[in-house]
Structures are given as structure tokens and as C-alpha cells.
Amino acid sequence: MLAGSESLGGASNGEAAGPAVFLFDRRLEQSEGGERRLHAGGSFAQFNNDIRQAFGISSNENFVISTTNRTEVTEANFSLLIRDGITLYILKSIDQLLLSATKEKIEFLPHYDTLVKSGMYEYYASEGQNPLPFALAELIDNSLSATANNSGIRNIQIRLLFDETQGKTSVAVIDNGKGMNTTQLKNWAVYRLSKFTRYVDESREQGGYVRPPPMPRSLNSDISYFGVGGKQAVFFVGQSVRIITKTTNTQDVHEFILSKEDFEKKEKNKEFIYSGFIRNRKPADSSHVSEDERYLHNFILEEKGKDSFTAVIVTGVQPVHIQFLKNFFHLWTRQLAHIYHYYIHGPKGNDFKWNKGIARPAGKIDIEIFMFEKGKSPRIVNLREIKSDMQTLYINSASESFEFKAVVGGDGVVEGIIRYHPFLYDSETYPEDPYFSSGEDIDDLDDDCIIIEKGARGKRPIFECFWNGRLIPYTTIEDFDWCAPPKKRGVVPAECYNRISGVLFTNDKFEVSTNKLTFLDLSLKLKDKNTLFTRIINGQEQRVKIDRDFAVWVKDCHAKYDKQIKYIGFKGTITRTDI
């Protein structure tokens, strides 16, 4: 069934005999119900007559016709008020009490701002970060899902077309994933249709949604989740999106455009809001492309020889986003490298020692960024090349790591890793986040007394958190009881506890908000008394008390790796003239 076809009234009848209205005679008390459907096609007088006839009201009886808001329908407002599907009362007077109840059929179609403004308020700045990279991440998420079963390389490209001489500015995300057929492309646009509810056309045949098997670090690529991400991202970035896609089964390419302007036009023309046209065509056919989108010709030419693909092309890009993407290229590419660190580098992450000379894992994921500007050579980066994202820094400045696991409520799995960043010679090796102001002002308040303001880690919480393998940027976990600095003076200096960083990897049994910026209840669940933490050594769960083990581990790290030289009590410089 197509949505809307059962709606009130019925356009075709309405056209023939005027709008259909529902009438309740409530001049007297009577049993509920009893409405009649009339067509109000002619004049007000005609309508009055029709009513008299239908309800058997003699010509010497008076009545008023009222809307349910108690506005009297009159000659003057008749054509303004009467619409298809409206409910009216027949009363003795306009303020007569409703002696028996009435049922008024209404429709409450979501406003198109559901799509168009979805992004606008969804992405927000936490810690002063610009959320734009997190919107782009939604499109990368979709491409990761779509390429999950690729046999060869998984290629995801973000192309920023900022050279206006080539057509209007656009942000495109292109992947060589499985693509969409027309049903799936239509479903792309259905707000809130998730893989769990999308049984009607697709999964029904395939027997519904199947959760992927457990994977190390939950790197399951199963990150299309709520049915909102693409829409939110696209309308956060710009005002219009064109999707071009092809599956392997057929030679047809499908195109669909969703735009704010279209919605406004449909509203104005009183057309059904949630409808549009898919263009089906042969590959490399760009005959429909207009002059101001001429960069599309090349895009479309590339279709030749591609088995399956999806391109999501956003136009009407907000100028403030263009500025940010241009001016902070390093910042946001680094952030993306951080979000997808473990997808790009595998479950061990970007360990320079480990990765040297080792062949890349199968199912390799290339996420490439291309930025084209007028009169400049394009900027290109593969996220894997980025060496300054926080996870890369953490991994490569760590001298040892401590792995653990927690199981919550049966199937909620959290893998965790804590890394020790030693003090070497005259400084901490704990990596600084160049874009994160730690807010610390470490000053000597007193010459004899150094204030250790949380030391190396500063105010940062220990744990960053990944969900199904991708970073959820705004949720961090301060610590757990067993890895927090001990209340009493411990066997190692307190600052050692500030030399640890950590990562948590959860599966999708922990819920995240639809914008994928925060976990809903990770911290609550992990703090639950029933949550059991076990240490993992070489992939094996250990039967040990994790708090004791962890304390010993910190002590060992301190003893083995911290090479602390402290110069205390500077007396002045002495030049030895005696040698």
C-alpha cells in the first residue's frame, strides 16, 4: 500500500462533487456517532439546502452550521472554511452545549522540517568542537555499512567540490558498496525507517534483520541504525541532496533528489509533501544534468565499469561549513581519522612497530578525502596516513597496556584497554590533544610546593568510547573504581594514575543517541554493581581481582618505564675552573 491513499475525503470524489464534509446533528441529545458525509460543492445556500434535506430539517426550523472550533459557517466564510474532510456541527445556536459527543477525524502528518531541520539541531558543539565532522561521519557510517560485504577493497571518498567554475559547490560522499535498488532508494528518504522496521519490502524476503556475529572491538560495520543519520547529516551540511546509486544485479542507475526547495514548493502547491521522483537510467547517461551542476558529467562518466556504488551529493552547502572545511582541513580530517581509527587500522590500531612491514588486513577500508579549490592543486589525504589523531598518539606513546572486559546484562559487551604513558627524563609522554584545551594552568603557587593538577592527563577522563567500532565523540568515562587513583596514599606516586589513557569498545547492546554523539546510559550501566570486570591477557579471561591486578600493573609500569630525573633545590651555576 502506498501511504496516503487512505487519507481523508478522497481527492477524486472531492473534485467531482466538491469537498466531502462530515456533519453531526447535535441540536438534540442523541446517541454518539451519527455523522453523515455530504459534498459541499456548490454555494452556501445549496449546502444549507442539502443539509435540510439530509437531516430532515423543515424550512421553518432554524439551525446554525459550526466548525468544531465553534466558528459559525456563513455565506462569507463558506469557501474559506470548507475543506475536504472537515467536521461540522448542526446546532440550534453557535454556543449550544454538545449534548452528546462527536468524533472528528484528523490527520497529523509530520511537518517536512522533520527532514529538513533534522540536522540543524542534532549536531552540537561540545567542548567547543565544531560538529561538522560528526555529520560527515554519518555519511561515512552509511558507506561502511554498504561496503561491509565487499570482496575487495572498501573505498569511501569524500569529495569537496569548492571550485565554483565547475558548478555549484558540493560535498559528495561516494562508495563502492552494494548500492540501492529503487525500493531501497525510496527507503533512504523515509525518516526513522530503520533496519529493524524495514521488513516490508526487503528483509521480509531475507527473513528480517540479522545481527552480525561478535567481532573484536565490535568492528562489525553495522552502523546504519536509526533511519535518520543520512537525512540529518545532509540537511545539516546543505539544503539539497542528490543520491546516485546502482546495485550489481541490474544495469540501471537510480537517482533521487531531496531538497528543501522542493518541499516548500509542494507545500505551496498543496501537493502531498512526501512524494518525489526517482530517475532510472542507463549508466554514464548525464543528459539531464544542468549547467550549474556540470561537475556531475564527470561523476556520471565514472559510472562506467563500476559494478555497484552510491554517491550522496549535497549542494546548497552552508558557507560557514565551506569556510570550516577549507580552513581547518587538518583538524577535521584528523578527527575523522580518530572516529574511524579502528576501522582504518584494524583492531590493534595504528601501532607503528606492529604495522611496519605487515601486509594490510583483508577487507581494507580506504577513506579518502579530496578537496578541490579554484586555482589550487587538490588536497588529498587517505585517513590511514594521518599519524596525529589521538588514538595513534596514545598507541605509540604507550609503553604497555592492560586489557579487560565487562559484560552487562548478558549480552552487553565492553572490551577495554588502558595504556601507560611513562614519564621520560624531563617530561610526560602522555600525548597532548592540540585541539583540546585542557583548561589547566599549572602554576607554582609556592616555590617549595608544586601543585600536581591531575598531572599528565590533565582534566581529561580516562576513557574514550567506541560503539560498534566507531567513536562516540561526546561520551567519555572518567574512570572505574578499580582504576581510579587510590584514596589513600598508594605504593606508587599518585601521578602515575594520571599517566594512563583508555579506550572502551562496546557492542550495540549499549544504546547511543540518534546523532551518535553520546551514549544513552553507558556510564550508568557500567557503574551498576552487577557489572563484572575481568582482566584479559592474550585474549584469555583471567580469574583475578582486577583492582589488585591493576594496582600491580601500574606499579610495574612505574618501575619499568618511568625515568624520572628531578632537579631539586637549584643553588646556582658553578663553572668548574679546576679542570
The residues that touch Mg ion, with contacts defined as CB under 5 A, are 141-142, 224, 229
Q: Which does 443 bind (CB under 5 to 8 A by kind): a copy of itself, Mg ion, ligand ATP, none?
A: a copy of itself
CB of 460 to ligand ATP, least distance (A): 28
Size of the site for a copy of itself (CB under 8 A): 118
Q: Is 436 exposed, middle or buried (0-12, 13-18, 19+ CB in 10 A)?
A: middle
CB of 231 to Mg ion, least distance (A): 9
Can residue 259 be called a binding residue for ligand ATP (CB under 6 A)? no
Q: Which three cell numbers stand for residue 169?
A: 559547490
Distance (Å, rounded) from C-alpha 54 to C-alpha 262?
Answer: 42
Q: Which is nearer to ligand ATP, 302 or 433 (CB)?
A: 302
Can residue 12 be called a binding residue for a copy of itself (CB under 8 A)? yes
Say what angle helices 132-146 and 229-237 make with each other, to 10 degrees.
140
Report the 10 Å Cβ neighbour count for 410.
7
For the chain, the farthest-separated pair of C-alpha atoms sits apart, in whole angstroms, at 132
Size of the site for ligand ATP (CB under 6 A): 23
Q: Is 10 exposed, middle or buried (0-12, 13-18, 19+ CB in 10 A)?
A: middle
Element (H, E) at 341: helix 341-345
Site for a copy of itself, residues 379 to 398, rule: CB under 8 A:
none
Rg, Å, the chain Cα set? 32
Judge contact between 457 and 483, C-beta under 8 A. Answer: no
Distance (Å, rounded) from C-alpha 548 to C-alpha 483?
Answer: 10
Q: Which does 478 bind (CB under 5 to 8 A by kind): ligand ATP, Mg ion, a copy of itself, none?
A: a copy of itself
| Residue of 310, 335, 392, 397 interacting with ligand ATP (CB under 6 A) | 310
Can residue 10 be called a binding residue for a copy of itself (CB under 8 A)? yes
Can residue 114 be called a binding residue for ligand ATP (CB under 6 A)? no
* Contact code string over 491-520 relative to ligand ATP, x by CB under 6 A: -----------------------x------
* Contact code string over 279-298 relative to ligand ATP, x by CB under 6 A: --------------------
CB of 546 to a copy of itself, least distance (A): 19
Can residue 255 be called a binding residue for ligand ATP (CB under 6 A)? no
Report the 10 Å Cβ neighbour count for 174.
23
Q: Which does 334 bind (CB under 5 to 8 A by kind): a copy of itself, Mg ion, ligand ATP, none?
A: none
CA-nearest of 158, 138, 308, 151 to 223 is 138
259-268 long-range contacts, CB within 8 A, separation 24+ = 259/316, 260/116, 260/235, 260/316, 263/112, 263/115, 263/116, 267/112
Q: Which is nearer to ligand ATP, 179 or 346 (CB)?
A: 179
Sheet with 463-467: strands ordered across = 470-477, 463-467, 500-506, 412-420, 400-408, 532-537, 540-541
| Residue of 112, 162, 225, 519 interacting with ligand ATP (CB under 6 A) | 225
Can residue 570 be called a binding residue for a copy of itself (CB under 8 A)? no
Site for a copy of itself, residues 180 to 199, rule: CB under 8 A:
181-183, 186-187, 189-194, 197
Q: H-type helices in 384-464, by residue range?
A: 390-397
Which window, 39-47, 141-149, 336-344, 558-566, contacts ligand ATP (CB under 6 A)?
A: 141-149
Q: Is 519 helix (H, G, I), strand (E, B) or coil?
A: strand
| Residue of 277, 425, 567, 570 interacting with a copy of itself (CB under 8 A) | 277
| Residue of 21, 25, 47, 84 interacting with a copy of itself (CB under 8 A) | 84
CB of 317 to a copy of itself, least distance (A): 18
* Residues forming the site for ligand ATP (CB under 6 A): 138, 141-143, 146, 175, 177, 179-180, 184, 188, 194-195, 224-231, 310, 514
